[in-house]
A and B are shown apart, each in its own frame.
Chain A
Amino acid sequence: MRVGLLVTCLVDLMRPGIGFAALRLLESAGCEVVVPNGQTCCGQPAFNAGDRKAARALAEKLLGEFEACEYLVAPSGSCAGMIRTHYPGLFADDERMRGRVQALSSRSYELTDFLVTVLGVSEVPGDFRGSVTYHDSCSGLRELGVKTQPRSLLARMPGVELREMEECEACCGFGGMFSVKFSEISGAISARKCANIQATGADAVVLGDLGCMLNIEGRLRRLGDERTRVLHVAEVLAGEDA
């Protein structure tokens, strides 16, 4: 099965380890993984800022790079959500592109969703030991229905103890440019998320989106919490030295 890995712009730049963890998970599940060289970004920042023209340009570019793959998989609910739920609307008035976009959209998956729903994976290579709490990042949860998939995979790991936090489905306050433009509001929302995380006493908060991770980790550290680790679900599932 030929799977195209969309590393995502944020992972590529900020935490490449997540990309390698995703790679390891896909390969250990028997996929042939390709990583298109020219990939940059799915266009979501432009889309959310109201610049549809830029979003469309990036979508067309991505389409060209991944069309040949059987599936597109991204270690991010928000990038996969962009492709799956918003790409088709971007080309609603473009006869020529619509079919192609739709075809790729429906083959695009968030990593844990792909592992569970498409591949039916039940074994994961990771050997993490400790207590974790899972934060449901918004796009994955509400655009793609990612909720039980990561939890069911974590449940396969004997060393992992899952402790659910209060309001695990509430936003962490990231919101892309929102976090920079409205930093005070974002900070207030994040503070609540951090308090809920800390109340579980878990060793790590685990989630599936790097944007939210940077926000949560940054806020935890700013609030003086040096203890709680912030990990991508792929890192935990793949083993940390992926």
Chain B
Amino acid sequence: MEMRSKEFKSRAVYYIHDGALQKAMGMLRDGFVAKRTQQAAELPEFEALREEAKNLKNHILDHLDHYLTRYEAAVKASGGHVHWARDAAEAREIILGICRRVHAKTVTKGKSMVSEEIGLNEALIENGMDVVETDLGEYIIQLADEPPSHIIAPAVHKTKDQVSDLFEEAHGTERKTTVPDLVNEARQVLREKYFRADVGITGGNYLVAETGSSVIVTNEGNGDLTQTLAKVHIVTSGIERVVPRLDDVTLFLRLLARSATGQETETYTTFSTGPRRADDKDGPEEYHVVLVDNGRSKMLGGRFREMLRCIRCGACMNHCPVYGSVGGHAYGWVYPGPMGSVLTPLIKGLDNAYDLPNACTLNGRCGSVCPVKIPLPDLLRELRHMQHRQKITPAIQRHALTAWRFAATRPKLYHFGEKVAARLLALAGRRKGRLRKLPLAAGWTDARDLPAPAGKTFLEQWQKQRGGQ
């Protein structure tokens, strides 16, 4: 998809005034957030599980090469193929190559953020294939010709009315207005496509090194049909998604659903190991895994290593006040919210996403709900630090900080300036006790008044009273 993170600010303002989006965001807060809180409270070991998951992920990252090699061997042993893609272009080529070889016409897809990351749909369509998203949310935004706005609920920005309109137009049927009717209609349309599929592409939530299995979790069961009914099954996944043993999957599953949607568990958890065997009743003839690096190994060696623990649950965005105000599309690329504000600059370049690390109040709620304890605010600060050092930060801000440091390390100068400011502000706000306009910080008074100060600073009053110390 087109990268539009540079326009974050103007897009954010646009979405703040988008009534339908605001309504949809309200539902997100009342739904996912409230349910997650409840789930976390009901599981006494929830906090211990977070710690355990963090430690296991750290262990995996420490030995990533080892587990990936084991995983590759296990996939091969089960009759599947493993492909390594250094970047998005390579990943697309590999997948296109497989599709062309089997003369694919219809490609069904389960939900996969990596496929969004590598821009897969556009590439398949350009090459003449019919791409069918089978996840309900993905299907909705495919009809609307929009990118996902959330990593697990891609159409969370859409209201029910908007979905009714989309279905009516696309299916040419009578307008459905209830959720069950809408779901049923989508089911019927999609059912037919599964059987026509030449290739089924899914993501991989976990790749099990022990068995060579890929694991997906869905609430609709669409992933199962995608991967078992097509002739060829392709899994796209980031290299960091490997786990050592089958048992380890349980740990992450217990955290994932609770953190993501506030469910105890997702409805379907599906394990795929290799292609169909002689005595299997169904399954694909070919099984491929495309392991995507796309900046990940660089992260592994640097200060953003912790970001690779991410299990793509979406809790950070559900709890982010900025995401909740502007929605996912404002962020301008596939990963929105706090995790996206870290990943986008790392994958697409710091100066292509200048605003993202700065568009954050550093309130810390994302980090406090992250199931693998990624210190997201610290990573965002680290990115700001890099922007400052690389002089990507606007010159005026850098100079202002230098001037401020000069003054703040010289108490006499600083306190003098403060006294002047206190008096000026008090004078300007004396009538109403507040200011409606500020010459040097118009951003502040665009949204709110500034309560006026008393006129004398604490330190000058204190020194008068007690002669200072």
Binding site for B on A (CB under 8 A): 7, 9, 11-17, 19-20, 34-41, 43, 45-54, 57-58, 61, 138-139, 142-143, 169-171, 173-176, 178-190, 192, 213-215, 217-219, 221-222, 230
Q: Give me 8 other A-B pairs in contact (C-beta within 8 A), A175-B361, A214-B450 excluded.
A: A37-B459, A40-B415, A49-B401, A182-B12, A182-B358, A185-B359, A189-B321, A218-B448
Quote the shortest CB–CB distance from B17 to chain A (angstroms).
Answer: 9
Which of these, A12, A138, A174, A192, contacts B418 with CB under 8 Å?
A: A12
Contact A57 B409, beta carbon cutoff 8 Å: yes
Within B414-449, which residues are at the interface with A (CB < 8 Å)?
414-415, 418, 421-422, 425, 434, 436, 441, 443-444, 446-449
B133 to chain A minimum Cβ distance, whole angstroms, is 30
- Inter-chain contacts of B422 with A (CB < 8 A): 13-14
B418 touches A185 (CB 8 A): no
A35's partner among B401, B425, B449, B459 (CB-CB below 8 A) is: B459
> Can you list 12 contacts pairing A with B, beta carbon distance less than 8 Å?
A9-B408, A11-B458, A14-B453, A16-B454, A48-B381, A170-B321, A174-B361, A180-B444, A182-B443, A190-B447, A214-B450, A218-B451
* CB-defined contacts of B326 to chain A, threshold 8 Å: 185, 188
| In contact, B361 and A178 (Cβ under 8 angstroms) | yes
In the complex, residue of chain A having the shortest beta-carbon distance to the beta carbon of B415: A40
Q: Which of B365, B389, B447, B463 lies in contact with A183, CB distance below 8 A?
A: B447
Q: Is the beta-carbon distance between A180 and B441 smaller than 8 angstroms?
A: yes
B16–A13 touching, CB < 8 Å: no
B322–A185 contact, CB under 8 A? yes
Instruction: Kindly list chain A residues whose C-beta atoms are within 8 Å of the C-beta of B469.
Output: 34-37
Given contacts A12-B418, A46-B405, A57-B409, contact A170 B385 (CB under 8 A): no
The listed residue with most A CB atoms (<10 A of its CB), out of B13, B385, B468, is: B385
Task: Please pick, from A35, A171, A174, the residue contacting B462 in the complex, using a CB distance under 8 A.
Answer: A35
Task: Report the separation of the CA atoms of residues A214 and B384 in the bound assembly, to the nearest whole angstrom.
Answer: 25
The reply to whether the CB of B457 lies closer than 8 angstroms to some CB of chain A is yes
User: Least Cβ distance of A122 to chain B in Å?
Assistant: 27
- Cα distance, A15 to B451, chains bound together (Å): 9
Determine whether B19 belongs to the interface, using a CB cutoff of 8 Å to chain A: no
Contact A184 B448 (CB under 8 A): no
Asked, given contacts A16-B456, A218-B450, whether A184 binds B364 with beta carbons under 8 Å apart, the answer is no
> A142 contacts B365, CB within 8 Å?
yes
What 6 A-B pairs are tightest by C-beta distance, nearest first? Answer: A175-B361, A187-B447, A218-B448, A50-B384, A50-B388, A180-B443
Closest B residue by C-beta to A174 = B361
Task: Identify which of residues 316-365 in chain B touch chain A, using a CB-to-CB cut-off of 8 Å.
Answer: 321-322, 324-326, 358-365
Contact assessment for B447 and A138 in the assembled complex, using a CB-CB cutoff below 8 Å: no
Is B179 an interface residue, CB under 8 A from the partner? Answer: no
Chain B: minimal CB distance from A184 (Å): 5
Q: How far is the CA of A131 from the CA of B42 in the complex (A)?
A: 32
Q: In chain B between 355 and 386, which residues have their CB closer than 8 angstroms to a CB of chain A? A: 358-365, 367-368, 381, 383-386
Tell me whether B321 and A13 are in contact (CB under 8 A).
Answer: no
> Could you say which residues of chain A place their CB within 8 Å of the CB of B363?
138, 142, 170-171, 175
| B360: contacting residue among A38, A50, A61, A175, CB under 8 A | A175
- Contact status B458-A178, CB under 8 Å: no
Is B398 a contact of A51 with CB atoms below 8 Å?
yes
Q: How far is the CB of B259 from chain A (nearest CB, A)?
A: 17
Nearest A residue to B469 by beta-carbon distance? A34
Minimal beta-carbon separation of A227 from chain B (angstroms): 14
A14 to B41, CA, bound (A): 40
Complex interface: chain B residues within 8 A of A230 (CB): 451
Q: Interface size class for chain B?
A: 35 or more
Knowing A13-B418, A189-B321 are in contact, say whether A182-B453 is a contact too (CB < 8 A): no
Q: Judge whether B384 and A142 touch: CB under 8 Å.
A: no
Task: Give the nearest-CB partner of A58 in chain B.
Answer: B408
A51 to B321, CA, bound (A): 25
Q: From the candidates B358, B364, B367, B404, name the one contacting A46 in the complex (CB within 8 A).
A: B404
Partner of B9 from A36, A176, A182 at Cβ < 8 Å = A182
> A57 to B408, alpha carbons, bound, how many Å?
9
The CA of A37 and the CA of B415, in the complex, are separated in Å by 10
Known contacts: A19-B458, A184-B13. The answer to whether A171 contacts B401 by CB under 8 A is: no
Given contacts A187-B446, A189-B322, A190-B448, contact A54 B404 (CB under 8 A): yes
Given contacts A138-B365, A189-B325, contact A181 B443 (CB under 8 A): yes
CB distance from A219 to the nearest CB of B (A): 4
- The answer to whether B459 and A7 have CB atoms under 8 Å apart is yes
Residue of A nearest to B448 (CB): A218
User: Nearest Cβ distance between residue B110 and chain A, in whole angstroms?
Assistant: 33
Chain B residues contacting A185 (CB-CB under 8 Å) are: 12, 16, 322, 325-326, 359
Contact A54 B451 (CB under 8 A): no
Which of A13, A215, A219, A221 has the most CB atoms of chain B within a 10 A radius of its CB? A13
**Assuming the A-B contacts A7-B458, A173-B361, A185-B16, are A54 and B446 also in contact, with contact meaning beta carbons closer than 8 angstroms in the complex?**
no
User: In the bound complex, do residue B449 and residue A183 qualify as a contact, i.e. CB atoms below 8 Å apart?
Assistant: no
Q: Chain A contacts of B393 at CB under 8 A?
A: 49-50
| CB 8 Å contact bits of B238-276 with A (1 = contact, 0 = none) | 000000000000000000000000000000000000000
Distance of A135 from chain B, by nearest CB (Å): 12
Chain A residue nearest to B330 in the complex (CB)? A185
Which chain A residues border B389 with CB–CB below 8 Å? 50
CB-based contact A143/B448 at 8 Å: no
- Chain A residues closer than 8 Å to B414, beta-carbon distance: 40
Give the chain B neighbours of A36 by CB distance below 8 A: 469
Given contacts A49-B388, A54-B401, contact A186 B447 (CB under 8 A): yes
Contact, CB under 8 Å: B434 / A218: yes
**Please, how many angstroms separate the alpha-carbon atoms of A22 and B322 in the complex?**
33
A12 contacts which of B322, B362, B364, B459 (Cβ < 8 Å)? B459
Report if A189-B404 is in contact (Cβ < 8 Å); known contacts: A61-B409, A215-B448: no
Q: Is the CB of B461 closer than 8 A to any CB of chain A?
A: yes
Given A57-B409, A175-B362, are A184 and B446 neighbors across the interface (CB < 8 Å)? Answer: yes
Whether B39 is near chain A, meaning CB under 8 Å from some CB there, is: no
